[in-house]
Structure 1
């Protein structure tokens, strides 16, 4: 049944258009996709959007290195990114780019609104300048020591260690990442958004339940300290949208990228008749807006972004869901840091569903980092999926095919056991809603243990030796298949490819609303291998290549 009172708009942070999708991107995309799939399975109306973050110095320099135009680069990257997400069963309703005409017009419109309302000011600032390359350096092209916690190897906008934000000129021992030289300080006029005007609004908004408790203290600390004005402009040379009224100034990506959430939705409105832009983005919209982001960009999403929306009388996010970093051997997987496992590398050795399951087994609704251990990954897939859940189907299907023409019994003999599985759905629903996916996986694993224990205790392989037990075996194995059916429904948001194959085997569509209805006198199809074990030799080979 559709919950038609409101729609849910879900977004992920936009991948940068200067390189491949890596497992760090996929952690967030898969987290959001699982949640979206669960909501849809429960009958909610959901719109899932994303786009490429297409602007900035990094895109400009990457295109120059490849001897192509920035437009050619971002077009190629957008196509590649969309295809990769599809291969991991991440299905967006619309996947756009921040370099679109609609986004350009919307950025100009929002700029003019906040300019007219006196939320902007212009002032001269000191900037880092690479004298070898004759260009101002953006935050991502300088590194140095954090001025707050003194951690080394930090970028020019924020510290990955302590979370502090600062001006690039505040970095200690700063080095240009483009020429490996010490930059000079030069002065340039820039446009600033007066964030302090929104101090009272922010104090109320961030404490309204929109943020996780694990980030709330830090955000309150930032709000209660001095809110610095935010530089929304960048100097030429730069790839992006020019600011209206300026010949050599461009919008900073952290202005036009979040505005891309709105423009991406507007593009979808132009393609579909069932959604209305004004109804959704108006100040008092009844619809829901959820942002999935990494904890490293919570500052932008929890302070700057809602202030821009407030300044333009747009609705604010319903919730912002931040997650921790994906690490490998304790090191953050990051393209900008040169440590990454690409999605294409992964698919050359392993499948997508297994990664989705592994991530789900580690994901919570906190911002704790997730350390990836490939041997643990292989163990979980082999033990949980192949040896436990798939084995439940296999061991029962063999009897049903051999003795009962793949037709399930017309009676169900284990109502108490079945009710235990049905009752578990209530707890699993709560875990899904709260994004506690690791607890979903844990519950599924426990239920699979119970189901297999039931079959082992009943010993159909012994009973079938006596022809008088044939009906009893039929009933037992039919129970096993029906318990497998429920497990597949629970896994549907997490492992869509596996469940799609299971639906072919079970000869039925698996819907959450049908959990309480067992399959009776129902013909299933021939059981073929639903999932392959992961070889530890394959793990070794993969580790040698990355």
Structure 2
């Protein structure tokens, strides 16, 4: 056991929209890790909070006509409540706009300034002459200078993914009014990130965590490191020391929130936050999404090192999320909202937690589909784990009224011990899928064991032997429930009570499994794990399809509606082609003479590629007759022949009508 406490954090949810499964890809595994390490006897503090600063929140607040603080408070409450429903239990969940983060950010940035790691520089900053304001970050869009793809002001989000410094983006355009911005000089402050090249290379070589985070960061360090502009021209945010017209960049104060939230928790818990953030060999472990690896593995540790704080011990990055084998996209409808689409439909948080931990490796891309969700829950949770636990409780209660007298056999204890050892090793290496799979393997072995022993037959032939079997099964069930609690805490707690345990399961330790269950009565067991039925899956899948189809329809160009009076203004008549000839020097145009009964019109039409002039003579056609005359290739055209499709299929009456007959 390590002598220093373990501090676990999660990337901060941004208070600019509701929670979806992409968020949970980080928070559920982190909560699993925290719960498991506590069962292993570790002292763990679990810290998070909401990220409240930056231009997207300002832009959204302006659209709603409210303050950024009010918008942040709304979504802060939303995330706090959603995490509780998902059984993600932080020791503290703060806000980066609260005084603690403001104070800690100013202190840390002040330390960087005093130590010479921050310097002023006059740069070119995008300025909108129409809105009369500088345009930081998300107020700006344009073209990435590296890959030439469309990009937002601070990041190439549709191309190479590079962080963009102020002044880098090409063809800068104001997102407020759509006007082309111009570049003007303005003084900003830079962090000397380039000076940490060698230190970061050594640091990343020692950093614990997942390879996808460490290798990605090492690639950036090996490529190049540029000094980072850490100020923005905004009113909303942490004021840069000595400059009330500037705030620190959101990616400065957001990670500093980890420290501030620890301070807030420590003040309430009677602890010293420095035990977690100062000195060597800290045990700070960050759980993040893979898209913010650069900030957590390069920028953040360099800031901490420069300011004289402790540095993170591990960074664990989750893979990205797909929905029904499509790239996650809120704008295209490929999204599952945690509340609206899942929790509010009465589905248990435990099942979603199980799926997110076991679908694939934590670092790989995870696909969510309702069909796969149903299959995994029904086959693995209900038919395997649920089946063994309920059979053990049911048979014991039916025959003995609870826990029979007996001593657990060594084979059972050995299997449990070996499983805990294997699972612990996998959890400590952040292989969460492998860990949960190993727990389910023990459950599968339990099903094989109870099936082979056939205790329902022993009830009649050898009750003492049955008591031994059930004693073994109940002890195995207790071990499985304790091991699965970090995955499915709600249902594990229910079963824990059915096993006669009065202590909260969250406070139990794996060492407690050395103790046998106390013989005696137990309450009648109930089925805790129930299947997801086909109709429910079909309904949820239908909701997803309807959302995608509705958004697709919105994006398709819509022909504007016109009134019958507007349509009546268009005059169309039948005509008969009297002559047709090519237009000199044009491969597409024909000059037609068309009879409209009481007059002959000259019409130039772009149908030469599809109709021979001689084939048109004598044909009935439909003509729009009240278009303004136009000159085409120097030839006057007084009307339009109507045709359909890319091959100009001429519209013609299906029965003979006189030229000049009006179309109604």
1:377 corresponds to = 373
Give, in angstroms, the shift of residue 179 of structure 1. 4.6
Q: Which secondary structure does the structure 1 equivalent of 2:356 belong to?
A: helix
* Aligned 1:129-144 pairs, distance under 5 A: 129-130=127-128, 133-143=131-141
2:528 corresponds to = 530
Give, in angstroms, the shift of residue 423 of structure 1. 1.7
Question: So what's the TM-score if we normalise by structure 1?
Answer: 0.91
Residue from 413, 421, 424 that aligns with 2:419: 424
Q: How has the CA–CA distance of structure 1 residues 277 and 394 changed in structure 2, closer, same or farther, with 3 Å as cutoff? A: closer
For residues 331 and 27 of structure 2, the distance between their equivalents in structure 1, rounded to whole angstroms, comes to 18
Give, in angstroms, the shift of residue 351 of structure 1. 1.4
Contact 2:207 2:315 in 1 (8 A): no
For residues 119 and 334 of structure 2, the distance between their equivalents in structure 1, rounded to whole angstroms, comes to 39
Residue from 249, 253, 257 that aligns with 2:250: 253
Q: How has the CA–CA distance of structure 1 residues 211 and 426 changed in structure 2, closer, same or farther, with 3 Å as cutoff? A: closer
1:116 corresponds to = 114
Residue from 3, 9, 24 that aligns with 1:11: 9
Contact 2:403 2:517 in 1 (8 A): no
Pairwise CA RMSD of aligned residues? 2.6
2:574 corresponds to = none
1:497 corresponds to = 490
Work out whether 1:240 is the aligned partner of 2:233.
no
Give, in angstroms, the shift of residue 150 of structure 1. 5.4
Deviation sequence 1:174-219 (CA, Å, 0-9, x none) = 6655555654444432211111122222122121234533343432
For residues 521 and 370 of structure 1, the distance between their equivalents in structure 2, rounded to whole angstroms, comes to 44
Q: Which secondary structure does the structure 2 equivalent of 1:6 belong to?
A: coil
Q: Which secondary structure does the structure 1 equivalent of 2:541 belong to?
A: helix
1:507 corresponds to = 500
For residues 46 and 462 of structure 2, the distance between their equivalents in structure 1, rounded to whole angstroms, comes to 52
Contact 2:165 2:229 in 1 (8 A): no
Give, in angstroms, the shift of residue 117 of structure 1. 2.3
2:357 corresponds to = 360
Q: Which secondary structure does the structure 2 equivalent of 1:456 belong to?
A: helix
Work out whether 1:481 is the aligned partner of 2:509.
no
Contact 1:48 1:92 in 2 (8 A): yes
Further displaced range: 352-361 or 72-81 = 72-81
Q: How has the CA–CA distance of structure 1 residues 82 and 156 changed in structure 2, closer, same or farther, with 3 Å as cutoff? A: same
1:63 corresponds to = 61
Higher RCO, 1 or 2 (CA under 8 Å, sep at least 6)?
1
For residues 102 and 272 of structure 1, the distance between their equivalents in structure 2, rounded to whole angstroms, comes to 16
Work out whether 1:386 is the aligned partner of 2:370.
no
Q: Which secondary structure does the structure 2 equivalent of 1:111 belong to?
A: helix
* Aligned 1:44-193 pairs, distance under 5 A: 44-130=42-128, 133-143=131-141, 146-149=144-147, 156-159=154-157, 162-167=160-165, 170-171=168-169, 177-179=175-177, 182-193=180-191
Unaligned 5+ segments in structure 1 are none
1:34 corresponds to = 32
Contact 1:365 1:434 in 2 (8 A): no
1:278 corresponds to = 274
For residues 412 and 279 of structure 2, the distance between their equivalents in structure 1, rounded to whole angstroms, comes to 49
Q: How has the CA–CA distance of structure 1 residues 278 and 167 changed in structure 2, closer, same or farther, with 3 Å as cutoff? A: closer
Q: How has the CA–CA distance of structure 1 residues 51 and 167 changed in structure 2, closer, same or farther, with 3 Å as cutoff? A: same
The structure whose Rg is larger is: 2
Deviation sequence 1:245-281 (CA, Å, 0-9, x none) = 22321111011111111111111222121x2133433
* Aligned 1:264-413 pairs, distance under 5 A: 264-273=261-270, 275-284=271-280, 286-333=281-328, 340-345=335-340, 346-349=342-345, 350-362=347-359, 364=361, 366=363, 368-412=364-408
Q: How has the CA–CA distance of structure 1 residues 197 and 398 changed in structure 2, closer, same or farther, with 3 Å as cutoff? A: closer
Contact 2:290 2:317 in 1 (8 A): yes
1:544 corresponds to = 542
Further displaced range: 454-463 or 251-260 = 454-463
Q: How has the CA–CA distance of structure 1 residues 532 and 153 changed in structure 2, closer, same or farther, with 3 Å as cutoff? A: farther
Q: Which secondary structure does the structure 2 equivalent of 1:364 belong to?
A: coil
Give, in angstroms, the shift of residue 377 of structure 1. 1.4
Contact 2:217 2:294 in 1 (8 A): yes
For residues 248 and 336 of structure 1, the distance between their equivalents in structure 2, rounded to whole angstroms, comes to 35
For residues 130 and 540 of structure 1, the distance between their equivalents in structure 2, rounded to whole angstroms, comes to 50
Residue from 207, 210, 222 that aligns with 1:209: 207
Q: How has the CA–CA distance of structure 1 residues 45 and 474 changed in structure 2, closer, same or farther, with 3 Å as cutoff? A: same
Q: How has the CA–CA distance of structure 1 residues 211 and 473 changed in structure 2, closer, same or farther, with 3 Å as cutoff? A: closer
Question: So what's the TM-score if we normalise by structure 2?
Answer: 0.75
For residues 58 and 338 of structure 1, the distance between their equivalents in structure 2, rounded to whole angstroms, comes to 21
Unaligned 5+ segments in structure 2 are 545-664
Richer in helix (by share): 1
For residues 141 and 130 of structure 2, the distance between their equivalents in structure 1, rounded to whole angstroms, comes to 17
Give, in angstroms, the shift of residue 468 of structure 1. 3.2
Q: Number of residues paired by the alignment?
A: 537
Q: How has the CA–CA distance of structure 1 residues 416 and 114 changed in structure 2, closer, same or farther, with 3 Å as cutoff? A: closer
For residues 543 and 49 of structure 2, the distance between their equivalents in structure 1, rounded to whole angstroms, comes to 30
Further displaced range: 83-92 or 511-520 = 511-520
Give, in angstroms, the shift of residue 171 of structure 1. 4.6
Q: Which secondary structure does the structure 2 equivalent of 1:532 belong to?
A: coil
Give, in angstroms, the shift of residue 309 of structure 1. 1.0
Q: How has the CA–CA distance of structure 1 residues 54 and 375 changed in structure 2, closer, same or farther, with 3 Å as cutoff? A: same
Q: How has the CA–CA distance of structure 1 residues 176 and 463 changed in structure 2, closer, same or farther, with 3 Å as cutoff? A: farther
2:451 corresponds to = 456
Q: Which secondary structure does the structure 1 equivalent of 2:195 belong to?
A: helix
Q: How has the CA–CA distance of structure 1 residues 210 and 398 changed in structure 2, closer, same or farther, with 3 Å as cutoff? A: closer
Deviation sequence 1:81-133 (CA, Å, 0-9, x none) = 11111111111111111111122122222222222222222223233445554
Residue from 253, 260, 264 that aligns with 1:263: 260
Q: How has the CA–CA distance of structure 1 residues 147 and 194 changed in structure 2, closer, same or farther, with 3 Å as cutoff? A: same
Contact 1:362 1:437 in 2 (8 A): no
1:442 corresponds to = 437
